[in-house]
Amino acid sequence: MANQTRGGLPFAPFRDENGRNSYHHPFPRYAPFDPYFRITPHRRAYTPRELLNGTIKAFYNRQDGGLNPLQVRARESLCVRYVLRSTAYAKGEHVAAGPGGDEARELVDDDVRFFAKQLDDFFFFGLLERYIMIETGLDVVGPDPAGLEDRIEAETTIVREASGNEYVRININTGRRDIASAGANAPTYELNDIIGRLMHEMIHAYFLIYACDCPKCERGLLNTTGLPNDGHGPVFLMLHRLIVSEIRRWGDAEHNDLAALLEHDCPDLSISLHSRWRANAAINNLTVLQRRNYTRLLPYSFSERHLVRITNTDRVAVRPNIKENQIRAENALHDRRSRAEAYRVDLLDNWLAYEVDEFDEDEADYDHAFDFEGEEDIIRVDTDAVEGGVGDPSVDPSRQGSGNRT
Ligand SMILES: [Zn+2]
Ligand SMILES: [Zn+2]
């Protein structure tokens, strides 16, 4: 791709000779109102921390007034469907053998895709949809690529087609065949487990699509998104935990079971225990030689300066100024937008009025309109004498002043 700049900053991602990113873009400007909530970030162009900070600005600790219209609708749709459908899960209605079994399974697959769309709109600016493919069903996930566990229930991978086309595939088990065929009571998993896994995999997908792939970022992976065959580094853990907290808030507000989302994996305010275990296990499995490819693993709480960090009690701490700065930026954008809007209305609605009162050059009293007072090179406009005031687009004082009069 050609490297192009606008005002010295690239607006298309810079790629090196290996096709890797070579410029760390700032996260796109965002505000929860038109047109700023529809952002178009570049693929693989942001450091993981930039991505984390930019992403949580849109939802962390926000009341409804601070959410964009897409988010409010997504949360409401998700909660409605959740209440309608959650009791049907883990009760065997959906994957029962015999007539209706296939139809019921399709309904489960449909639920997962529906929830994915809402989570995408709420947490990821609707940016995942065009890049991900979700496969659901009984035992659709293969063996653990890191070899750490006998069975895994979900997996996210990049698929590169021969055509060069690339997408992210998410596989999620909605139940397991051996239990279903045994006629046991719980052929599908609990809906909370499915939603918990889905949002977990969507975070992997988000980093795979948008986090920078430059050699420097790759060397730092242990302290950011984790090893390539793992993906559960501290930046993942932080975004994951903040999303869990937000979804639990929906449960609290609506009195549904979402309040208990991932309660065993993320007890109280803790980061995901299972994901952290996997991240450490994957690092411990590295050979000495492989380990040299990465910078030293730092304790999660190594930097107090970071805006978002994991504390030594395994919670996620977010510095208040990340929100304060965002609110300030949003207010400035809001002011600018309303001023632009007022000016546009002015032009449309009052244009005729301006034309009627247009400054009449022939009849103007120049002696009063321009006061020279001996300073021949300084031309001041007497605004009172100019119809429509200084802002009137029909009057160009500099042009008026340059005429050779008197
Ligand atoms: Zn994972
Ligand atoms: Zn990078």
Query: 236 in helix, strand or coil?
Result: helix
Question: Would you give the distance in Å from CA 361 to the centre of its chain?
Answer: 56
Cα 236 to ligand 1 centroid, rounded to whole Å: 9
Q: What is the DSSP string of 315-339?
A: -EEE-HHHHHHHHHHHHHHHHHHHH
Entry pTM: 0.81
125, 265: one domain: yes
Cα 274 to ligand 1 centroid, rounded to whole Å: 9
pLDDT tens for 287-343 read 999 999 999 999 887 777 899 999 999 999 999 999 999 999 999 999 988 888 887
When computed from its CA atoms, the radius of gyration of the chain, rounded to whole angstroms, is 29
Where residue 68 falls (left for φ over 0; alpha for ψ -120 to 50; beta otherwise) is: beta
Helix pair 234-254, 48-56: axis angle to 10 deg: 10
C-alpha distances in Å from residue 362, one per residue of 149, 175, 187, 358, 389: 90, 86, 89, 12, 18
Q: How far apart are CA 112 and CA 100, in angstroms?
A: 19
63, 170: one domain: yes
159, 272: one domain: yes
Query: 225 in helix, strand or coil?
Result: coil
365, 262: one domain: no
Cα 230 to ligand 1 centroid, rounded to whole Å: 7
Closest ligand to residue 211's CA:
2
Q: How far apart are CA 146 and CA 47, in angstroms?
A: 24
2 assigned to some structural domain: no
Give the 3-state DSSP-derived string for 90-136, with helices as H, strands as E and coil as C.
CCCCCCCCCCCHHHHHHHHHHHHHHHHHHHHHHHCCCCCCCCEEEEE
Cα 219 to ligand 2 centroid, rounded to whole Å: 9
Cα 200 to ligand 1 centroid, rounded to whole Å: 6
310, 164: one domain: yes
Closest ligand to residue 144's CA:
1
79, 218: one domain: yes
**Residue of 275, 194, 198, 202 lying closest to 232 (CA atoms):** 275
Q: Which residues surround ligand 2, an ion (CB under 5 A)?
A: 212, 214, 217
Cα 344 to ligand 1 centroid, rounded to whole Å: 49
CB atoms near residue 68 (< 10 Å): 23
- Please tell me the predicted confidence (pLDDT) of residue 179: 61
CB atoms near residue 30 (< 10 Å): 20
pLDDT: which is higher, 397 or 165: 165
218 assigned to some structural domain: yes
Q: How far apart are CA 14 and CA 27, in angstroms?
A: 15
Q: How far apart are CA 259 and CA 122, in angstroms?
A: 17
348, 325: one domain: yes
Instruction: Summarize the confidence of residues 207-218 as an average pLDDT.
Output: 96
Cα 182 to ligand 2 centroid, rounded to whole Å: 50
Q: Return the percentage of the chain with pLDDT > 70, whole number.
A: 77
Phi, psi of 210 (to 5 degrees): -110, -15
Contact 379, 369 (CB under 8 A): no
5 assigned to some structural domain: no
pLDDT tens for 336-394 read 888 888 877 777 766 555 555 555 555 555 454 444 444 444 444 444 544 444 444 44
Q: Which two tokens stand for residue 120?
A: 């995408």
- Please tell me the predicted confidence (pLDDT) of residue 152: 95
**Residue of 158, 293, 303, 278 lying closest to 226 (CA atoms):** 278
Walk across the sheet containing 132-138 and list its strands: 132-138, 166-175, 154-160
**Structural domain span for residue 132:** 10-318
Q: How far apart are CA 55 and CA 225, in angstroms?
A: 15
170 assigned to some structural domain: yes
Q: How far apart are CA 77 and CA 99, in angstroms?
A: 30
Contacts for 160 with CB less than 8 Å, ≥ 6 apart: 166
374 assigned to some structural domain: yes
Cα 228 to ligand 2 centroid, rounded to whole Å: 15
1 assigned to some structural domain: no
Contact 235, 49 (CB under 8 A): yes
- Please tell me the predicted confidence (pLDDT) of residue 397: 42
Cα 204 to ligand 1 centroid, rounded to whole Å: 7
Q: What is the dihedral of CA 31, 32, 38, 42, to 10 degrees?
A: 50
pLDDT tens for 143-191 read 998 899 999 999 999 999 999 889 999 999 998 877 655 554 447 889 9
Cα 20 to ligand 2 centroid, rounded to whole Å: 9
Sign of CA dihedral 208, 211, 216, 221: negative
212, 324: one domain: no
157, 244: one domain: yes
Domain total of the chain: 3
pLDDT: which is higher, 202 or 370: 202
Q: How far apart are CA 239 and CA 250, in angstroms?
A: 17
3 assigned to some structural domain: no
Give residue 106's pLDDT band: very low, low, confident or very high (50, 70, 90). confident
